Structure 1
């Protein structure tokens, strides 16, 4: 069968589950991953065909997509901030909104004195996407990343090797720590922040397949990780150091109040590309 014909069939079979644009994007992601063919290659050569062995692979992927298994898990990888990351069922799939948080940190720190080490801590690293992207784009940075999941740490370590950067990974439950022991110029975290009451808003491909440990918090204490991390960061941040969070879009006001009540200054709340409150930063001004 010609690949172009199979493309039409593929998109049609996914119609009950995805819109045509998304189904088409899946087709071309698989085509490039499994056959090293791009959309332009198919456009320039309508006679390209699949052989019988190819259909075994494609039909199995189609079967999994109909179950709404994330395409990133099926391919075992995703792109984040221009870098290639392994993803699996032990880690969240990195989101575009998190790229904006990384961009914010890079833009504010790219002009620092390259002769002075920039110490960065990433809490709840998952794939390592934040830590690795910062290490890649801020070559004068010394980056440490922690996570409570051993399997997540193992994945993040492979991703650091994959992207040829140095990051120190530590297995740690942040909620059980009384202090961070080291000091940092930047502490960043994208902790669990989805309340159980918000599960009805979560798509099946996320709810059924991504690790709940990295996603959800109890409704009656949605800011548990933020409160703990902000408390630890008060002592662990160096002079002029800064704390950055990705946050629940519905809790921007509550996050401002939390940081204000803990004596953070220069608090800035930012929206993401979808116009949702998504990122916040603050400083502890030493000596005040």
Structure 2
């Protein structure tokens, strides 16, 4: 037998071998809520636990080898909703929420036609479909596993996104007259691996993360070129970007004929989003 408070302290200390103190505590709270139905206030009551669910013990073991808790629980929060995730898709990030919020804020007009390129869990297109009135939303990915998860998320969240299996580097876009194209493509250089936490490196899909150092803007260039064909006049292209290449990405989009190219900072002050308009003028009101 053990107490809830004692178990919390034990788990938190063990996880501090891998994570900062506050993050370790947050992870334990997440586990307790998922497997014991207990919240922070319950820990203060210090109740006695007769036994532990086997799922909790296994989840803790997985956390100790660096597996992200979102993969352990099979779900991740995004823009006020819960999305299924697995190691076949990237875990939705805060900066991606900020990109989605920017799109929603800048595009209040109903009836928009939108495409998400490299959709992963489907968090971007599903959120846009549910937040923007009367929109028609498409999404594509090279990974069949990712598309299966995205389709499950759409069904569970009652979204009408249409998913397409496509390799953006080798195939043409089967869409025309789009109002918006958005993408969070692979943008981490292989040389940046050493800067990344092992729980990302060892568990998240490298196909969705990394690009070769010799051509770090490969996906931005190809997508921008194809977006010029598929966007309608004054259509808008949005990217999540590598902050190390914000200036270069802006120049690339301008060289390809996009106007009003603007870099946006995330809440941490990092240049993580960019937007460009096909043609010179824009009217999204």
**Deviation at 1:179?**
4.2
Query: SS state of the match for residue 177, structure 1?
Result: coil
Match of 1:25 in 2: 26
Residue from 90, 93, 110 that aligns with 1:92: 90
Give the C-alpha shift of residue 165 in structure 1: 1.2
Q: CA-to-partner distance for each residue in 1:148-169, whole Å, 9 max, x for gaps?
A: 0000000000011121111000
CA distance in 1, matches of 2:101, 2:42: 32
Corresponding residue of 1:14: 15
Contact 2:63–2:69 (CA under 8 A) maintained in structure 1:
yes
Flag the 1:201–1:84 CA change in 2: closer, same or farther, 3 A. same
Equivalent-residue separation in structure 2 for 1:177 and 1:106 (angstroms): 28
Please list, as runs of the form range in 1=range in 2, the aligned pairs for 1:1-288 lying within 5 A after superposition.
1-43=2-44, 45-47=45-47, 49-54=48-53, 56-110=54-108, 112=109, 114=110, 117-285=111-279
Structure 2's unaligned 5+ residue stretches are none
Instruction: Give the whole-Å Cα distance in 1 for the aligned partners of 2:84 and 2:135.
Output: 23
How far 1:57 sits from its partner (Å)? 2.7
Q: 1:37 offset after TM fit, Å? A: 2.4
* Stretches (4+) displaced over 3 A: 178-181
Q: TM-score, normalised by structure 2?
A: 0.94
Alpha carbons 1:147, 1:171 under 8 Å: kept = yes
Conserved 8 A contact 2:176-2:229: no
C-alpha distance after superposition, 1:207-234 (max 9, x if no partner)? 0110000000111111111111100111
Shift of 1:255: 0.4
Separation (CA, whole Å) in 2 of partners of 1:142 and 1:39:
41
Distance, in Å, in 1 between the alignment partners of 2:67 and 2:273 is 28
Report if the CA contact (8 A) 1:73-1:89 is conserved. yes
Root-mean-square deviation (CA), in Å? 1.4
Determine if contact 1:180/1:232 at 8 Å carries over to the other structure: no
CA gap 1:51/1:219 in 2 versus in 1, 3 angstroms = same
